Structure 1
Amino acid sequence: MRFAIELKLPLTLEAVVTFITDHVEHLGPNGLRQGLPEQVDRELVKLGIKKRVGPLALSTVEHRVAVMSEAHLAQHMESPCRVPVVQRLLSRTRRAYVKRGVRPNKVDAITLQPLKQMLETCDDSLLGIRDRALLLFAWSSGGRRRSEVVAATVENTKRRGESYVFILDHSKTNQEGRVDGSSYKPIVGAAAEALTHWLHSAGITQGTLFRQVRRYGILGGPLSTEAVRRIVIERAKRAGLDGRFAAHSLRAGFVTEAGIQGIPMAEIMAMTGHSSVASVVGYHRAGSSLTSAAARLFDDAEMRNEPTS
């Protein structure tokens, strides 16, 4: 509608930039307004694509850009959403919102205990077996992104005794499909057991690991990235967890829990595949803050100064 043509993958850089500038708020001479023409905005609402006229929340815009990116990655296409121009645009938009007192709402991290509560909601049905395997696969192998979870196959997830090695040959930070030492992500222990149970129960011997489970336990096609998001949200809801959750909560939770357990940053990044320390350090610090020796300076000093009997 905006471009008068049907948009298909791969999207152009112009389409991504226009989507962002159309739907966020800009501060102009007449106050805040969006870039989307009013007539187009009203038509989108009329068609049910938008709930109401006006700009989208920044978190919604960022989420939709992330969905666009994952759609490209799932098709092994280079994502125009990850080029420096788009990342700078989003960064400057976030700063502009912060200056106006609008701060982004981050999803809550699913650390070890919340994860266990979610796993307890997974029964012995084929659906429960799948969800348990998916949650443990995504969390334990380094907090895999949705696009990486749906890209997992029997062929790129190699059995090694009772364990597996997931070969991550395509990701947000590896769009060229190269395989090196950092591409191998171990799946061991409970995660490996759950994956084996799922594969045997579903009779999967080739192709995509995680698939739809239809009525009466009939196996369907591959899961979409949106389906992974819904699974995380639904299991968190069933577990009675309070907070705002999404698929990224597994990735954030893995890093946060690693911080709690004192895992070195280099080991965490080797698992997650993060290329920037800045992306990891916030979650790591949040996790390690309560176990920090610096936080106990007063108590430790008091203990050292206590008189001995």
Structure 2
Amino acid sequence: MKNPQSSPSRAVKKYDGITNALSASLSASDASIQALLREGGSDNTLASYRSAIQYWAAWHQWRLGHPFVLPVPVSTVLQFIADHVEHATGTGLAHDLPDDIDAALVAAKVKRRTGPFKLATVRHRLAVLSEAHETQDLPNPCRSRAVQTLLARIRSAYAKRGERPGRKDALTKEPLEQLLATCDDSLIGLRDRALLLFAWASGGRRRSEVVRATLENTRRVPEGFLYTMGYSKTNQQGKETADSYKPVVGRAATALEAWLAAAKITSGPLFRRVRRGGVIGECLSAEAVRKIVQARAAQAGLEGDYTAHSLRSGFVTEAGRQGRPLGEIMAMTNHASVASVVGYHRAGAALSSKAGYLLEDAPFTPSSDRR
């Protein structure tokens, strides 16, 4: 349980100690890290694995007093869950991570803020730990009955509190239009308008896919542009398939042409930094794409949590609203699993269900037919 006498300030002063311990822990588990990095198929996956392992190492050293080494016992996993998930007490919700250790983890920059994790973050940390054990053929504590039973009870408890797994808000057509309205005719405005429309209209492209778009793989055609997908999260060998080609047409094509002309881009990456004085710089990073979406959402005054993934979920949700076939949408998005896309599609189609209008006298007309 938490110790109210602990002093976060004293923990912060131990920053050098925790960084040294972290280095030792990472060295001890280097084989695991290297195996995980080989498994990581994308930059984002690699970064998330590294972040999770670093957190495990730091937490383990501070909480248990010795380096993080595989295999990890079941008792350690149960303690990790108790430290990071809220449970009910007589005075409200609490978690078991001591305040001084919580502050030290933040000071070491392996944790963003003090307090419990979101349940999705805990599950991700456990998934990475599980993969580390599986990769080395070690007994996997995350698959133990005790851990699985506890997680099931936690999911049930969170559901009873009305807390559902967090999803970023979807940028469907209306909020997307609000973002586009913030883009003026400056170089940055032209670039951001082209980027938003390209990412959304070509099938809800991931940010890593946006920054890999070039004039070499995005060729002009009479209808606009045709973007050829190479390497992606679901095509890590870069094989060319029937679903590799993504149309960039209509307003998206017009916006892209305007940006390319203004920036005088004739080869290489489509979306680049705009430096002071209108100097066109290097290719944008995936992180820059996320920041552009968030900044434009803030400028538009949108309430909600919007990130680059909101373009992808928004495309699928809007397709559901407009009654587009799921197979056609998956051909655009390149989702590998029906389960991962069907939730967004059904959510978008919910208000178009005739069953919801049984009490109405007038015949129901889906919104997609009224456009």
Task: Please name the residue that 2:165 is paired with.
Answer: 104
Cα contact 1:156–1:166 (8 A) shared by 2? yes
The separation in 1 between residues aligned to 2:203 and 2:298, in whole angstroms, is 23
Task: Please name the residue that 1:121 is paired with.
Answer: 182
Deviation for aligned residue 1:53: 5.3
Task: Please name the residue that 1:11 is paired with.
Answer: 37
Cα contact 2:187–2:263 (8 A) shared by 1? yes
Counterpart secondary structure, 2:82: strand
Look at both structures and tell me which one has the larger radius of gyration over its CA atoms. Answer: 2
Identity %, equivalent residues:
49
Is the deviation greater in 276-285 or in 178-187? 276-285
2:322 to 253, 261, 283: 261
Quickly say closer, same or farther: Cα 1:19–1:97, change in 2 above 3 A.
Answer: farther
State the Cα deviation string for residues 48-82 of structure 1 (Å, max 9, x = none): 443445654345578999xx9xxxxxxxxxxx99x
Counterpart secondary structure, 1:220: strand
Quickly say closer, same or farther: Cα 1:30–1:144, change in 2 above 3 A.
Answer: closer
The separation in 2 between residues aligned to 1:150 and 1:230, in whole angstroms, is 13
Is the deviation greater in 286-295 or in 182-191? 286-295
Task: Please name the residue that 1:307 is paired with.
Answer: none
Deviation for aligned residue 1:45: 2.9
Considering Cα pairs closer than 8 Å and 6+ residues apart, tell me whether 1 or 2 has the greater RCO.
1
Counterpart secondary structure, 1:201: helix
Quickly say closer, same or farther: Cα 1:207–1:46, change in 2 above 3 A.
Answer: same
Q: Is residue 2:310 matched to residue 1:249?
A: yes
State the Cα deviation string for residues 74-117 of structure 1 (Å, max 9, x = none): xxxxxx99x999xxx7xx79856523415322111111111111
Quickly say closer, same or farther: Cα 1:136–1:94, change in 2 above 3 A.
Answer: farther
Deviation for aligned residue 1:200: 0.9
Counterpart secondary structure, 2:359: helix
Cα contact 2:225–2:247 (8 A) shared by 1? yes
Quickly say closer, same or farther: Cα 1:188–1:51, change in 2 above 3 A.
Answer: closer
Cα contact 1:150–1:222 (8 A) shared by 2? yes
Deviation for aligned residue 1:4: 3.4
Cα contact 1:27–1:33 (8 A) shared by 2? no
Coordinate RMSD, CA, aligned: 3.9
TM-score by length of 1: 0.77
Gaps of 5+ in 2: 1-21, 41-48, 61-75, 85-96, 137-141, 143-147, 365-371
TM-score by length of 2: 0.65
Task: Please name the residue that 2:92 is paired with.
Answer: none
Quickly say closer, same or farther: Cα 1:200–1:109, change in 2 above 3 A.
Answer: same
The separation in 2 between residues aligned to 1:126 and 1:272, in whole angstroms, is 28
The separation in 1 between residues aligned to 2:349 and 2:81, in whole angstroms, is 43
Gaps of 5+ in 1: 69-79, 305-309
The separation in 2 between residues aligned to 1:94 and 1:136, in whole angstroms, is 40
1:32 to 76, 79, 82: 82
Quickly say closer, same or farther: Cα 1:290–1:115, change in 2 above 3 A.
Answer: same
Quickly say closer, same or farther: Cα 1:225–1:59, change in 2 above 3 A.
Answer: farther
Cα contact 1:146–1:247 (8 A) shared by 2? yes
Quickly say closer, same or farther: Cα 1:62–1:113, change in 2 above 3 A.
Answer: farther
Aligned 1:125-144 pairs, distance under 5 A? 125-144=186-205
Aligned 1:1-309 pairs, distance under 5 A? 1=22, 2-4=25-27, 11-12=37-38, 18=53, 28=78, 32-33=82-83, 44-52=105-113, 56-59=117-120, 97-101=154-158, 103-299=164-360
The separation in 2 between residues aligned to 1:276 and 1:238, in whole angstroms, is 34
State the Cα deviation string for residues 171-211 of structure 1 (Å, max 9, x = none): 11111110111100000000001011111111111111111
The separation in 1 between residues aligned to 2:190 and 2:308, in whole angstroms, is 18
Quickly say closer, same or farther: Cα 1:163–1:94, change in 2 above 3 A.
Answer: farther
